[in-house]
Amino acid sequence: MTAKEEQKKIKARLDEIDSALCKPETLRSRLLMKSLNTERYSLVRINDTLVDILDTQSLLEEMNSAASGNDPELSEMASDEIPELKTRMSKLNHQLKVLLIPPDPNDQRGVVMEIRAGTGGEEAALFAGSIFKMYSYYAQKKGWKSEVISARESDRGGYKEIILNLSGNGVYSRLKYESGVHRVQRVPETETSGRIHTSACTVAVLPEAEEVDVEIKSDELRVDVYRSSGPGGQSVNTTDSAVRITHLPTGTVVSCQDEKSQIKNKAKAMKVLRSRLLIVKQEEENAKRSESRKSMVGSGDRSAKIRTYNFPQGRFTDHRIHLTMHNLSDILSGNLDQVIEALIKADQDKILAARAEK
């Protein structure tokens, strides 16, 4: 199919979407509205790129014709323009290939992020706290809404486990590569001899699920309430506000005790449960992602690392794409875009290379 034919097809689909967006039944469905607007945004970007390709192609044909003409001065000017136009054409064609990669259906969702201390005891919990702050700072920079769903603090600070919800446009598309084991090398505050310790925490990023994404029947749940423990004020140890939900068919268990209200704790626990069940459902539907949940969480062992944060050298390394940077303090302050863009590009290049082999 030529660029003109592709553009004509896209414009027809855009007209259909614009018509559908005006219908009352669409306006009543938030999910349908979101789906259509997401598709429209993608198609507009493809259409704009096709327009640029057609314009550049037309101009290149004109320059080639002028370069082979009888006017020496015009021929020289045209010849000078041709290399730049060819470079632009090559970049536009690559951009179009990237835009035509089928989007991840979860890309526009928010996320439920689970951060857990792994190998390293109290130092691992302190590092989990640093990673939590890093993502919180990044969320602030991107204008996302951040909410802690549950947290288990360690005795010396940091977290044994913290689960948060990040919502906004395209959150999952930016954070889906963060899943895995993050390793830290630094001198702990409690170390008197100055010896560098190595510890780790695990990060799992789950797409935030809507109620319509996963059907959960009430008879499939066991809900237990109990008294919350730890810091939290007068309600702690005095009211049965903490909630534990067990999804009986899968054995998935989610607990929440951060809120004073049992109702709020149950709502937060259900949010996490839906997200965990959604990823399981999607894995079952797509064999290629059948191991994604396992690879996300890992074991917390130092050897299963995707990242290393080396404090003595101020070095940050992402081992999957062999990216090393020496601005660790900036990264921990939430300046993650450069890293995330490199991961996105590596993923796109991998997909395009696989397509080229077929």
Rounded Cα distance, 160 and 179, in Å: 17
pLDDT at residue 19 tops 60: yes
pLDDT at residue 24 tops 80: yes
Rounded Cα distance, 290 and 283, in Å: 5
Q: How does residue 309 score in pLDDT terms, banded at 50, 70 and 90?
A: very high
Tens-place pLDDT, residues 96-140: 999 999 888 889 899 999 999 998 888 999 999 999 999 999 999
Q: Is 87 left (phi over 0), alpha (psi -120 to 50) or beta?
A: alpha
**Six-digit token string for 302:** 């130092």
* C-beta separation of 216 from 271 below 8 A: no
Residue 260 Cα distances to 174, 198, 232, 235, 264, angstroms: 33, 37, 8, 6, 8
* C-beta separation of 280 from 304 below 8 A: no
Alpha carbons within 13 A on the beta-carbon side of 334 = 12
What is this structure's pTM? 0.80
pLDDT at residue 273 tops 70: yes
| Amino acid residing at 25 | E
Question: Which CATH number is 111-209+300-357's, of 3.10.20.90, 3.90.245.10, 3.30.70.1660, 3.40.50.720?
Answer: 3.30.70.1660
Question: Which CATH number is 218-285's, of 3.40.109.10, 3.40.1790.10, 3.10.20.30, 3.30.160.20?
Answer: 3.30.160.20
* C-beta separation of 256 from 243 below 8 A: yes
Chain-centre distance of CA 138, in angstroms? 12
Who's near 245: CB < 8 A, 6+ residues apart? 221, 222, 223, 224, 253, 254, 255, 266, 269, 270, 273
Tens-place pLDDT, residues 203-262: 999 999 877 678 888 889 999 988 776 554 444 445 678 899 999 999 999 988 888 888
* C-beta separation of 226 from 240 below 8 A: yes
pLDDT confidence of residue 190 = 64
pLDDT at residue 302 tops 50: no
Rounded Cα distance, 195 and 186, in Å: 8
Tens-place pLDDT, residues 77-99: 999 999 999 999 999 999 999 99
Q: Which of 142-151, 264-273, 290-299, 325-334 has the lowest mean pLDDT?
A: 290-299
Residue 249 Cα distances to 30, 278, 283, angstroms: 29, 14, 16
Return mean pLDDT, the chain. 87
Rounded Cα distance, 252 and 147, in Å: 22
Tens-place pLDDT, residues 55-84: 999 999 999 999 988 888 899 999 999 999
Q: Where are the alpha helices (DSSP H) in the chain?
A: 3-21, 24-27, 30-67, 72-99, 121-142, 171-175, 262-285, 292-297, 328-332, 337-357
